[in-house]
Amino acid sequence: MTYSRTVRAAAVQISPVLFSRDGTTEKVLNAIASAATEGVQLIVFPETLIPYYPYFSFIQPPVLMGKEHMRLYEEAVTVPSPVTDAVSSAARASEMVVVLGINERDQGSLYNTQLIFDADGTLLLKRRKITPTYHERMIWGQGDGSGLKVLDTAVGKLGCLACWEHYNPLARFALMAQHEQIHCAQFPGSLVGQIFTDQIEVTIRHHALEAGCFVVNATSWLSPEQIGQITTDETLQRVLKGGCNTAIIGPEGNHLCSPITEGEGMAIAALDFSLITKRKRMMDSVGHYARPDLMKLQIDLSEKHLTDSNNSKASVFTQPLQLEVTD
């Protein structure tokens, strides 16, 4: 692990091209190319950006959402696919670590999926949101613990969670205990209003403080025209405004650049890893400040399957692992 380095990171606030996987993918590739001209080494995109977050599920009752749900299936991303190949190539060409949110289609199911591409284009991680939130449960299946991993990347040790997974303290602790240096957070944006912006602020700053890491957070943004495409009901349109907070937070819980709460843009900041040590020398919640003799996390990091082959030397079902917080 490297303790003294500086990484240039970007969090992207971006509008999807509604109802178009290819259109949104093109915007992602353009953003990567633009960030490369700024010397960016790590770029984080919003939750399920490709093709778009299923805003319809928040404002439509189940009996009416069938058409939009079907359209999302048609535009969703399979892994691997031309979309992931294109992002991999862009990451490699720019020598940039890319964290991307997609609607993943796996046969007859959709998932809220986070992808991490290393700077050489390798797809290091495909993880699915553990539990979709509220209305999202009508759209996405559940993930498992196999994605609760901190990865060694070209820019350091990376972990990621999506949206309200940050309100599951054990999920956050699973990443903290693996000594993440940069936490990549994703939220949908353009949802609920100012209260959501404020909640994101509290969430990402608290995690940075508690984990002693950097947090790079990205949210999407809908233009007034796009909101009109989703619904013509002015009452419902009000809940598709605000709720954006694209920001980069340091280990002491402070903003490292101005956050973006409206419109498209890119928040860029230098992440000085010596700030991690500055924070952790006083409070390392998974080191000298931990009490594993009193409290510890038990977590199952295995990948779940519907079938178990008796012919396999190693069962796909494994015993829960204890994730110790001591060095």
The domain ranges of the chain are 6-280
User: Which residue ranges in the chain fall short of pLDDT 70?
Assistant: 309-327
Nearest CA among 7, 322, 273, 304 for reference residue 173: 322
Give the predicted TM-score (pTM) of the model: 0.93
pLDDT of the residue at 323: 56
- 67 labelled catalytic: no
* 127 three-class SS: strand
| Block residue for tokens 């700030």 | 275
Domain 6-280 has CATH 3.60.110.10: yes
User: Choosing from 160, 163, 213, 244, which is the catalytic residue?
Assistant: 163
- 252 labelled catalytic: no
274-306 pLDDT, tens digit each: 999 999 999 999 999 999 999 999 999 999 888
CA distances from 142 to 60, 133, 146, 170, 318 (A): 21, 10, 12, 17, 19
pLDDT of the residue at 312: 46
User: Choosing from 47, 165, 180, 210, which is the catalytic residue?
Assistant: 47
pLDDT of the residue at 306: 82
pLDDT of the residue at 1: 75
- 213 labelled catalytic: no
User: Choosing from 27, 126, 129, 149, which is the catalytic residue?
Assistant: 129
